[in-house]
Amino acid sequence: MTKDISITEQRPYHHGDLHRAIVEAALSVLSESQSTEFSLRELARRAGVSHNAPYKHFADKRELLAAVSAVGFELLAKRMADATKELDSPRERLAAIARAYVCGGVNNPALYRLMFGGYLGGQDNGRPAIERTAAHSMKAVVVEAICDGALGRVIPNSAANTRTIDGAILIFWSQMHGLTLLLVDSLVGPSGKIEELSEGVLQGMLDGLANCIPEVPVGVWVGPPPAE
């Protein structure tokens, strides 16, 4: 009786690629509402399936969020990689990466917050593997740019330079991360000056980084994510 095909041929019983559909719905809702508080049921509705169908693809909401977050990291990595194309000066390339990073966060704050807002375990270790992997590949883009000579000298990505690279990454990343979030929160402004502002911070940081690079301490986690 449930086989009552009312109008035209309704979608087949099986969706086909619900996993992807749900993640995309989440990205849409995230962009539109700019709120991280959407419901699984809403996504199911958008995908045209019952409220419980997503559970066949994600163990729980957290796992779905992690998948979305992972896409966010991939998008960011791609943005940054693309930004370095057709640029020769290593320093300019690192600067371009920084701009792409901040820009990506500012353009979709809700997604950026999802990636870094601690909706997962709080600890990186608590993040599902899929997300950690994506985050690491994003970081690799930065590592490469720094080793490339962006700070005034080429730094071979060898064990001997781990300390130097780790330190540079930490300074670079935390500065960009903080700037992005302050911009997103509108805690700095007026908004018309955002690019000029960011540019000043960026160039200042690169100068400072180039100077203090050799003395930077050790310990940042760089390289493949630690095994579980």
Partner DNA sequence: GGCAGGAGTAGACAATGTCAACATCCCGGA
Partner DNA sequence: TCCGGGATGTTGACATTGTCTACTCCTGCC
Binding residues vs a second copy (CB under 8 A):
34, 109, 113, 116-118, 122-125, 135, 167, 170-171, 173-179, 181-182, 184-190, 192-193, 196-197, 199-201, 203-205, 207-209, 211-212, 215-221
Min dist CB 123 to a second copy, Å, is: 5
CA gap 209, 170 in Å, rounded: 10
User: Which among 96, 202, 182, 77 is positioned nearest to 139, based on CA atoms?
Assistant: 77
By beta-carbon proximity to DNA, the closer residue of 3 and 85 is 3
Give the residue from 160, 116, 168 showing the smallest Cα distance to 143.
Answer: 168
Q: Does 24 participate in binding DNA (rule CB under 7 A)?
A: no
Cα(198)–Cα(181) distance, integer angstroms:
12
Among residues 39 and 191, whose Cβ is nearest to DNA? 39
Q: How far is the CB of 16 from a second copy (least distance, A)?
A: 33
Q: For helices 61-84 and 40-47, give the axis angle rounded to 10 degrees.
A: 70
What's the min distance (Å) between Cβ of 18 and DNA?
4
Residue 215: burial class (beta carbons within 10 Å; 0-12, 13-18, 19+): exposed
- The residue ranges that bind DNA (CB under 7 A) are 2-3, 12-16, 18, 39-42, 49-53, 55-57, 60-62
